[in-house]
Structure 1
Amino acid sequence: MKKFWKITVSALLALIVVGGAAAYHERHNIRRYLLIHQHYAKKDILTTNQIKLNIRPARSTARTLSTNQLSQDYRQDLKKVKTGSTHAKVIVNPYQTSPLTGLILVKTAAATKVALTVHGDTPATTITQHLKGYRTQHAVGVLGLYAGRTNRVTLTFTRKNGTTTRTTYTLKTAAAPKKIGKNTLKTSKPQQMALGHGNTKLTFAVSSLGYTYGLDAQGQVRWYSTRPISHVFKQLANHHLLINTKIKNSESKSNALQETDFYGRVYRQYNMNGLFPTKSDPTKLANNTVIHHDAIELPNHNLLLTVDDGSKKFVEDTMIEIDRKTGKIQKVIDLKRILPKSAYTHYTGTHRPDGKIDWFHQNSMVYNRKNGDLIISGRNQDMMLAINYKTTKLKWILAAPQKLPKSYHKYLLKPTTQHYRYNGGQHAVKLINTSQNTGDTIDLEFYDNNVPVTRGKTAQSKQWSAGEIVSINQLKKTVTKTWSFGRTLGKPNFTNIVGSSYAVGKGNTLIGFGYADHGKRSEFVEVNRKTGKIVFDVDRTGFAHGDWSYRAQRMSLYPESAQLNLQAISTK
């Protein structure tokens, strides 16, 4: 009887395994069928449900759990450290993806607050940061180490009675990867640069696909990530970073959106499906990158992403809003539903190897908190436009009128500047002077590649690229050019693709000429908008083809405190 039950249980288990495998296989076949046999709301426009099915974001806890485990280990290490600054435990690259970071675990007999100094080669490259609060157990995060040397880091401990003591620690780092390329300093005037309090702000070269890194005022690498980052590198309201990376380093596509920080600790990760029908044979599926150029945080803290929506015909013309906690898609905006049909059905401006039509090529967006508008840049239409985010109703268009149906001319902004030169193939749209602008008037900063893809061709086209600012009266629908810089640098700094222009403080703008000299060079130029004087200038050369610096951003290594929170992060 006992033998009979053993045989019966074994048979049942076998049936469950076989049945489970069959069910999984059946689900896979159903999903494949639904991806191939796409549902359309009307010709060329996918249904919202089909887009949600195609992209299917999913929360992943793998990296969150692994970095949580490291935090737990460091918590235990801190408990074991003996009291006294000379007994500290020093760790380089604590979260294993940011080699120029460190962690100092130290206990003090009395409650103290801590000031951190990362010694630089010059006063302008010495980084200082003050930690908040008095405590006896300290987990001091260190950012801004040099590559390939023994770094000196001093902690100053101050008791409540004002007594201070100092201890200097050494942190040895390996050389930076050669693939970062060579960064050659051409100009540096630190007193006139926007370096932030304690010189904590670096110039970050954000990669198209490769190494993203930060430079100090002397053009020295002071931070980089070993994670392959593609286009998206943003600071969120909670001071974390948002990056677009690969689910696995071995994969060819970047389909992991990750909330992380400069240390490399992971707080959330959303994996995208990216298995879409091919243009040549829609019955076959191929891996695609879903998030391609930009991601922003909305006022409700959800994330708005520029995506490929899974169409077998079109790319880079859709946005999705995902819930920050669950990763589920809350809203879909298909630009084919907003812009004229002729824009995507008669597009011939560019061609892709896979045969799909990149008619819009959305590369940036910014949300206007004052009126709820979303401002969008589309390179291949040489167009910036505003829609009401809630209703998706078109508000205005900044573009030359050529090839735009007359029914859309009512949305065009009218130039007040004489001989106004329209933007061509522009990037990196951003609001500036937001505290000064009224509800009707906005100042818009962007990088004008000056390469007309669809409209606006002039004799000046392709002769230079420039950072520009325009003032837009949204009520009167007028546009006035108020600032431009780049023409004097001429054709060597003309960039057919990529680029950025961002205000960074002190009346300065940082311009990233990411594809200079036909993609052989990237140049980062900080210029004072009032005087036109360059205060910082670095040339980047010797990098791999395709690893152009998509954007140049000035960001603080320490947007908050250097005190690391070693508590576990919820994975729910």
Structure 2
Amino acid sequence: MRMGSKQICLAALVTVGLGSILAGCHQSDHQTASETLSTAQIKKNLQPTMSQTRVKRDNRLADGYQTQAHRKANTLASPYVKLNPYQTSPLTALVAFTTPRATQVTVKVVGTSEKTTITHTVKGYQRHHQVGITGLAAGKANQVTLTAKSASGRVTTKTVTLTTKAAPKRIGQNTVKTSKPQVMALGKGNDQLTFAVSSLGLTYGLDTAGNVRWYSSRPIAHVFKVLKNHHLLVLYQSKNGKYNTLVETDYYGRIYREYDFKGVFPTRKDPHKTSANTVIHHDAIELPDGNLMLTVDDGGSKYVEDTMIELNRRTGKIMRVIDLKKIFPASAYTTYTATKRADGKVDWFHQNTIYFDNRRQQLLVSGRNQSTVLALDWKTMKIKWIFGSHQGWPKKYQKYLLKQVGTPFSWNGGQHAAGLIQTGQFTGNTERLEFYNNNVTVTRGAEKTSKQYSNGAIYDINVKKMTVRQKWTFGQSLGKANFTNIIGSSYRLNGQNSLLNFGYCESGKRSEFVEVNRKTNQIVYAVNRTDFPTGDWTYRAERLPIYLD
């Protein structure tokens, strides 16, 4: 959520009626050419450049570390140790050494308890070792044990002390309210941390005791994704203060690819004048072929946050443009008045999620300001189904609307982080959808309970019958204290637990991360985050492994 986007539901909606937002009976359901930009123009507005400066710098550093791994003087008994090897991940280190015979190395980073002690075994046997260490605790003399084991079973160990500085104050205070590590989803060797993905600041990872065990010293906004090659996709802040540097990196901070967006667009008040803008605003994903799909502005003077581009991972060229104005009825954006922005541009959709379903070859998108999740055929971009309240949809679109079955049932409002789960299990007509329901009626939703609570939710969709059934929710019992008008996430961790982020509690004064058992709705982990800079509320909370090799 960009700070310039004020999400205020107008009182006029009450008198005009929610249906008027889309109804527009006197208007065509198709956009006119003057209201949208051409694909060619959008590509021209957005095309990034690929920078090699940091890539080459980090390649030189990597070559130097490789040399250290081959130096005979660097043995396990006296290894080469480099804290923060690429200068942006202070709680990581690299240890390089040579062993007389091929060995497999296991790393143990000692924590404050058994469940905060992290272990990881590096794959394969070799003589020349570059062992990455991550999960160091901030502000501590960390004891790290390296165990080298040969194929014959011979074991050698070495303990090194790695002293780190305290975590930056900008991270804020993380107060553990509940922690039951024995029933949490922590991964093999306790190597999964709870990552607080920032809106406009520092992204960091916590252990079960609330200790900071990883952070990037470079400000990050919204995008923090694990890629198939075990790298990370991250959106960094650029020199002008906007977040327009998309990088492929890793937990140690090495840059492998960098895409720089200019983001200089015409203003709404005077299209002849320009201003700097953040281009990628909420989400980015990796497609099966390795290309990247990004949520972007189209670079025009009127509309924002309603366009996606497919970026060629290797060349940085824009391969495809998906303008949601060409999919929705024109009345959705030409008559939209539910929210206002300081810059005067129209944020009628406010896309906050992309999810690609490879098995069904469909793209799921979530739009806060339409309170809608919809599935699009990947090849044709035609609508397959629409999940959301039926209020205000033109007749042409009503055939796509999922019909509710069963009770209890509540429609989504202003939702975030929508995606399918258990896709290997549901291979027939059923799709299982999880999302974070902000429960705020923008253009449609559950009006009677709007703003009373926010919740994580799972629904089953029957794509043949075009029905939807509510399967699980959590958050209602927390009430208004955990209502979040904007941002949030809900992610299934395993067969029992989900991790929720109530990111904008008390109008952005605090964020709360909650891991809950879905069968009992008992909280097994809860952290209250406070005292962070204005605007840097937690966008999403994710449970991610910190050793990816």
Is the pair's TM-score, using the shorter chain for normalization, greater than 0.5? Answer: yes
Structure 1 counterpart of 2:166, one-letter code: A
Question: Offset of 1:421 from its aligned partner?
Answer: 1.4
In the alignment, structure 1 residue 442 sits paired with structure 2 residue 431: yes
Separation of aligned partners in 1, 2:465 and 2:225:
33
Separation of aligned partners in 2, 1:339 and 1:509:
32
Could you tell me whether the CA contact under 8 Å between 1:241 and 1:259 is conserved in 2? yes
Matched with 1:267 is 256
Separation of aligned partners in 2, 1:532 and 1:514:
19
**Superposed CA offset, 1:500-559 (max 9, x none):** 000112410000000011111100000011111111110000000100100000000012
Matched with 1:186 is 177
Could you tell me whether the CA contact under 8 Å between 2:79 and 2:96 is conserved in 1? yes
Structure 2 counterpart of 1:122, one-letter code: S
Question: Offset of 1:137 from its aligned partner?
Answer: 1.5
Separation of aligned partners in 2, 1:298 and 1:125:
34
Matched with 2:201 is 210
Separation of aligned partners in 2, 1:369 and 1:347:
33
In the alignment, structure 1 residue 349 sits paired with structure 2 residue 338: yes
Separation of aligned partners in 2, 1:73 and 1:419:
61
**Aligned 1:52-451 pairs, distance under 5 A:** 52-80=43-71, 82-248=73-239, 251-418=240-407, 420-451=409-440
Could you tell me whether the CA contact under 8 Å between 2:74 and 2:96 is conserved in 1? no
Question: Offset of 1:77 from its aligned partner?
Answer: 2.7
TM-score, with normalisation over the residues of structure 1?
0.89
Separation of aligned partners in 2, 1:72 and 1:86:
23
Question: Offset of 1:63 from its aligned partner?
Answer: 1.3
Structure 1 counterpart of 2:267, one-letter code: T
Question: Offset of 1:266 from its aligned partner?
Answer: 0.7
In the alignment, structure 1 residue 553 sits paired with structure 2 residue 538: no
Identity level (%):
56
Q: Alpha carbons of 1:41 and 1:109: their partners in 2 closer, same or farther (altered >3 Å)? A: farther
Question: Offset of 1:409 from its aligned partner?
Answer: 1.1
Separation of aligned partners in 1, 2:184 and 2:173:
22
Kindly report structure 1 stretches of 4+ aligned residues shifted beyond 6 Å: none
The one of 48, 60, 63 aligned to 2:39? 48
Could you tell me whether the CA contact under 8 Å between 2:410 and 2:446 is conserved in 1? no
Question: Offset of 1:371 from its aligned partner?
Answer: 1.2
Could you tell me whether the CA contact under 8 Å between 1:81 and 1:89 is conserved in 2? no
Separation of aligned partners in 2, 1:420 and 1:263:
45
Question: Offset of 1:384 from its aligned partner?
Answer: 0.6
**Superposed CA offset, 1:454-504 (max 9, x none):** 112422110000000000011111000000000011110000000000011
**Superposed CA offset, 1:107-131 (max 9, x none):** 2222211111001110001000111
**Superposed CA offset, 1:37-93 (max 9, x none):** xxx980211000000000012211111111111112222333335153222111110
**Superposed CA offset, 1:160-197 (max 9, x none):** 22111211001111111001000001111111000000
Structure 1 gap ranges (5+): 1-39, 561-572
TM-score, with normalisation over the residues of structure 2?
0.93
Matched with 1:23 is none
Structure 1 counterpart of 2:138, one-letter code: A
Separation of aligned partners in 1, 2:408 and 2:63:
63
3-state SS in 1 of match to 2:493: strand
Separation of aligned partners in 2, 1:83 and 1:102:
16
3-state SS in 2 of match to 1:300: coil
Structure whose CA Rg is larger: 1
Structure 2 gap ranges (5+): 1-30
Question: Offset of 1:396 from its aligned partner?
Answer: 1.1
**Superposed CA offset, 1:146-171 (max 9, x none):** 11111110001112221112110011
Could you tell me whether the CA contact under 8 Å between 1:41 and 1:47 is conserved in 2? no
Separation of aligned partners in 1, 2:32 and 2:448:
42
3-state SS in 1 of match to 2:527: strand
In the alignment, structure 1 residue 540 sits paired with structure 2 residue 517: no
Q: Alpha carbons of 1:439 and 1:65: their partners in 2 closer, same or farther (altered >3 Å)? A: farther
Question: Offset of 1:419 from its aligned partner?
Answer: 5.6
Structure 2 counterpart of 1:260, one-letter code: T
3-state SS in 2 of match to 1:459: helix
3-state SS in 2 of match to 1:422: coil
